[in-house]
Structure 1
Amino acid sequence: MYNAGIPIANAFSYMGKEAQRPQNLGFVRKDAYDHFNRIRRNTKVEDGDAFELLQYFINKSNSEYFFFWNVQLNDDNRIMNFFIRDYRCKVDYECFGDVVSVDTTYRTNKYNLICVPFVGIHHHKQNVMFGLAFMSDETESSFEWLFTTFLKSMYGKEPETVFTDQCQAMMNAVETIFPCAHHRLCQWHINQNAPSHFGSLNNDTRFKQLWHQCMTYCESEEEFESVWKNMIDEYNLIDHKWLNGMYKLRHKWATAFSNHKFSAGLLATSRSESTNSVLKKVGDKTITLYQFVQNYEKVQKVWRANEKAEDTRCRHGMPSMVVKKNPMLTHVANLYTLNIYGIFQAEFIDSLNMLFVEQPSIPFFNSFIEFKVRSHVLLSGFFENLNLNDQNSSNAFDIDADNAQLNEILIRNPPVVKSRGITNAVIQRHWDDKSKKEKGKGKTQSSSEF
């Protein structure tokens, strides 16, 4: 499986299923990583290929002043890891680098090195690349080198949210190098791995409903804790090792703990995986590193051409407005890209189904107005409290972050509209059509090293 390019985590999960459960394998996941890391350390990039690659980086640096590259060598002065990014990657990261997806499940080229794209989402809701790396192993030290290099290439700007798979070495490196970032684990990988630990519970419909509710559908931390406790108690799972481990990591994968963090609507490293599927089309087991880098740059050109085409479409077109002459929709139509406007409009229409009912106020606290919020079609009870400060300032609304189920895309935050027009609108700059144009006017300094 290793020679076929199957990731270690996937191979371990598959073997665990074949053996009925992972405990029957006779070794743990860390043993598998250690074994294959020893194999990779003995895999050497041939001198001719290494020279060709380094010469390309040097020539690129001479012709493109803002091109950044870095290489890590082993004790034998052979290439272990390398990272590259061009000027456009830097500009894109300045505009859209608040959410970064890092995936290590793809391997290509004849050395079976790990391909690590740094991927985000731009203002048209399409993939954007911030850089590309190749790694010879998945050790904590290699990830620390990679993230440190990435951070240096972006002049110290940390992402707000980082998505990765559940690799302990990578998790440790994220915590060390990106201490201020909100680290999210890929839900898709967790759900792929979970059945190998559930045994007969895989056939229990109610258990799976509770598990998925904990993953995605709890609206608050309190609800998560309640549902989790019910699941553990009902199925007597108090000593379940894997679930206990996942509970300790709940802040990294359960959406109930991340509603207050911007994630551009992501729940998984799917953006990286879709990028991998594109890279697979331009690489195979016979290709050299130099050839792969050239093909990667061709993919970049196609993506950037698509972005330019979307920019042109937005510049010369206006969206179809469901509610004509609505002041908020008119305002947003002139601000957001067409794709993002479509998402906003859908949220706006949904918000019309919300009923705000003013609650009796206490005289001592009469500077605040409390509302109960509920859906017109769900009249059985209120599902949210909303406290509005009755003052015309930029802070004229305040939502309790522990209770609020905010859309992680944060197109609107929240839909507070007064009869006299729009007040206190908070626009998420990530989706602003003008944000990249403003950033692109600035100049940055180049950096390359060997």
Structure 2
Amino acid sequence: MVVRFYSRSGSDNIDNSKELYMKEFECSCKGTKDEKHSAKNKQPIYLKIETRFGCTTRLRIGRKKNEEWRVTIFDIQHNHDMVSPDQSYMLRSARSISYAKGNTLKTLVDAGFSISNAYSYLQQESHGRENVGFLKKDAYDYINRIAKDHRQVEDGDAAELIRHFKNKSNKDILFYWDFQVDENNRMCNFFFRDGRSRVDYEDFGDFVSFDTTYKTNKYNLICAPFTGINHHKNNVMFGLAFMSHETESSFQWLFNTFLESMGGKQPETIFTNQCQAMINAIEVVFPNSHTDCVNGISIRMLLLTLCMEFCESEEEFENIWSKMIADNNLYDHSWLNNMYKLRNKWSTAFSKHRFSGGLKATSRSESTNSSLKFDGKRTDTLFDCVLRFEKIQNEWRQDEKENDFKCRHGMPTLAVKTNCLLRDASSIYTHTVHYMFQS
């Protein structure tokens, strides 16, 4: 149903106000579809079902000044099938998203629910799809319309990001950000971290995991988080970078920027993947840091795992390595020969004196990338990615706050309650670390 309103204004109106004098109700199937054609072949550029059949059904009511309303036109013959009562909720005229339900829908989507799951929640709450008030398609259109209204234009994305960083700097005196431009004066790399990240780095910055394996935005920039572990052995974020190229010069710029933002404090250990450009840059910028450049996921053989993680001394490492090479006749294996040359960078036998948080690979960065990937789209702008990062970072910090509360107001279960050493440790360590100590 389509409703049209007609009003007259001017000297005939009482008190010069608009006065409604006619209403017309038309069938929603009136007219025909407006075909849109491409410029080349004049073919329809999209295919939609026909919903307009040239129906002439209408009801018009009108009145003259100070008189009653009268029916002036009433054409009741439809030229199409009528909708049954149990399907009437699908009609356009019966569908609308109220402020309350629209706000609920947006809140659920912002919290990480898919639009489909958010609509299912409203369907459950309304005791049936016919009572929601709109269709799932309307929910998608509503959310996409909101996103379109807030989406930054591509040319202004960098400017919007800089404005966001400046606003953050005004509220957080320790907030740090910097970016690098290419020969065309376009942003190609950038890094930022807030004040809390600087404080966390002072406490937990002995170990840093850095990985560049994930791309998450419309510009195909590389997402590069700096990640550590806190006193609950949970992820903690030290900063985030986006890079256009994985070159040695780009990595040097990024690591120097990170080092400057952290007051020059170098990490004790850096876990990375096997990118040679990255390793070269680390050796230049972090000469005092130990670099572990093995991705544990690629290690399949048991003996190699023993060499990587469980050797108590360099002598034990050499014995196991020699046995592995001899037993499998791997003397000419180029990858293993190269790995042997880098053994001091990945085997714990050569780095027991350095803190690594008990980790053996870049799993922390990978889990961070996985978190950033959740609900992310390849069409996201940089501004979208930064907002998602800040949301995840706030969730992690809330988790840390809750874990701190549990540690302050609860005691871990002691394996031997009379053991003084365990009892003293429970008052010093967090619950997670205490259970590691107890084990």
Where 1:120 maps in the other structure, the secondary structure is strand
2: CA distance between counterparts of 1:140 and 1:125? Answer: 31
2: CA distance between counterparts of 1:69 and 1:158? Answer: 19
Residue 175 of structure 2 is aligned to residue 82 of structure 1? no
Q: Who is 1:188 aligned against?
A: 296
Where 1:165 maps in the other structure, the secondary structure is coil
Cα distance change of structure 1 residues 237 and 258 upon mapping to structure 2, 3 Å threshold: same
2: CA distance between counterparts of 1:214 and 1:322? Answer: 32
2: CA distance between counterparts of 1:209 and 1:277? Answer: 27
Structure 2 counterpart of 1:107, one-letter code: K
Residue 239 of structure 2 is aligned to residue 107 of structure 1? no
Structure 2 counterpart of 1:211, one-letter code: L
Long gaps (5+) in structure 2? 1-152
CA RMSD in angstroms comes to: 1.5
Contact 1:282-1:296 at 8 Å conserved across structures: no
Report the alpha carbon displacement of residue 297 of structure 1 after superposing the two structures with TM: 0.7
Report the alpha carbon displacement of residue 327 of structure 1 after superposing the two structures with TM: 2.1
Contact 1:119-1:127 at 8 Å conserved across structures: yes
Which of 289, 299, 308 is the aligned partner of 1:215? 308
Q: Who is 1:131 aligned against?
A: 239
Report the alpha carbon displacement of residue 125 of structure 1 after superposing the two structures with TM: 1.0
2: CA distance between counterparts of 1:120 and 1:234? Answer: 38
Identical aligned pairs, as a percentage?
Answer: 59
Report the alpha carbon displacement of residue 166 of structure 1 after superposing the two structures with TM: 0.3
Residue 387 of structure 2 is aligned to residue 294 of structure 1? yes
> Over residues 192-226 of structure 1, what are the superposed CA-to-partner deviations in whole Å (9 max), with x where a residue is unaligned?
7xxxxxxxxxxxxxxx3333332233222101111
> Over residues 18-67 of structure 1, what are the superposed CA-to-partner deviations in whole Å (9 max), with x where a residue is unaligned?
xxxxxxxxxxxxxxxxxxxxxxxxxxx94311111112112221222111
2: CA distance between counterparts of 1:278 and 1:234? Answer: 42
1: CA distance between counterparts of 2:432 and 2:310? Answer: 26
Report the alpha carbon displacement of residue 135 of structure 1 after superposing the two structures with TM: 0.3
Which of 369, 375, 392 is the aligned partner of 1:276? 369
Report the alpha carbon displacement of residue 342 of structure 1 after superposing the two structures with TM: 1.0
Structure with more relative contact order (C-alpha pairs < 8 Å, separation 6 or more):
1
1: CA distance between counterparts of 2:313 and 2:348? Answer: 9
> Over residues 162-202 of structure 1, what are the superposed CA-to-partner deviations in whole Å (9 max), with x where a residue is unaligned?
0000000000011111111111123325427xxxxxxxxxx
Residue 368 of structure 2 is aligned to residue 257 of structure 1? no
Q: Who is 1:170 aligned against?
A: 278
Which of structure 1's runs of 4+ aligned residues deviate more than 4 A?
A: none
1: CA distance between counterparts of 2:237 and 2:360? Answer: 18
Contact 1:101-1:164 at 8 Å conserved across structures: yes
2: CA distance between counterparts of 1:87 and 1:79? Answer: 23
1: CA distance between counterparts of 2:249 and 2:380? Answer: 27
Structure 1 counterpart of 2:222, one-letter code: I
Q: Who is 2:340 aligned against?
A: 247
2: CA distance between counterparts of 1:264 and 1:288? Answer: 34
Contact 2:274-2:295 at 8 Å conserved across structures: no
Where 2:377 maps in the other structure, the secondary structure is coil
1: CA distance between counterparts of 2:216 and 2:264? Answer: 30
2: CA distance between counterparts of 1:321 and 1:128? Answer: 28
Equivalent residue pairs, number: 287
Q: Who is 2:261 aligned against?
A: 153
User: What TM-score comes out, normalization by structure 2 length?
Assistant: 0.63
2: CA distance between counterparts of 1:211 and 1:303? Answer: 34
Report the alpha carbon displacement of residue 340 of structure 1 after superposing the two structures with TM: 1.1
Residue 330 of structure 2 is aligned to residue 237 of structure 1? yes
1: CA distance between counterparts of 2:266 and 2:183? Answer: 30
Structure 2 counterpart of 1:77, one-letter code: N
Q: Who is 2:413 aligned against?
A: 320
> Over residues 301-342 of structure 1, what are the superposed CA-to-partner deviations in whole Å (9 max), with x where a residue is unaligned?
111111111111111111111112322112111111111111
Where 2:404 maps in the other structure, the secondary structure is helix
Report the alpha carbon displacement of residue 257 of structure 1 after superposing the two structures with TM: 1.7
Structure 2 counterpart of 1:312, one-letter code: F
1: CA distance between counterparts of 2:215 and 2:355? Answer: 30
2: CA distance between counterparts of 1:189 and 1:173? Answer: 24
Deviates more, 1:325-334 or 1:115-124: 325-334
Report the alpha carbon displacement of residue 143 of structure 1 after superposing the two structures with TM: 0.5
Residue 334 of structure 2 is aligned to residue 226 of structure 1? no
Structure 1 counterpart of 2:296, one-letter code: W
Report the alpha carbon displacement of residue 116 of structure 1 after superposing the two structures with TM: 0.5
Contact 1:187-1:253 at 8 Å conserved across structures: no
2: CA distance between counterparts of 1:338 and 1:213? Answer: 29
Contact 2:293-2:345 at 8 Å conserved across structures: yes
Q: Who is 2:173 aligned against?
A: 65
Where 1:71 maps in the other structure, the secondary structure is strand
Contact 1:120-1:128 at 8 Å conserved across structures: yes
Structure 1 counterpart of 2:223, one-letter code: C
Long gaps (5+) in structure 1? 1-44, 193-207, 347-450
Larger radius of gyration: 2
1: CA distance between counterparts of 2:402 and 2:422? Answer: 24
Structure 1 counterpart of 2:170, one-letter code: N
Where 1:137 maps in the other structure, the secondary structure is coil
Structure 2 counterpart of 1:280, one-letter code: K
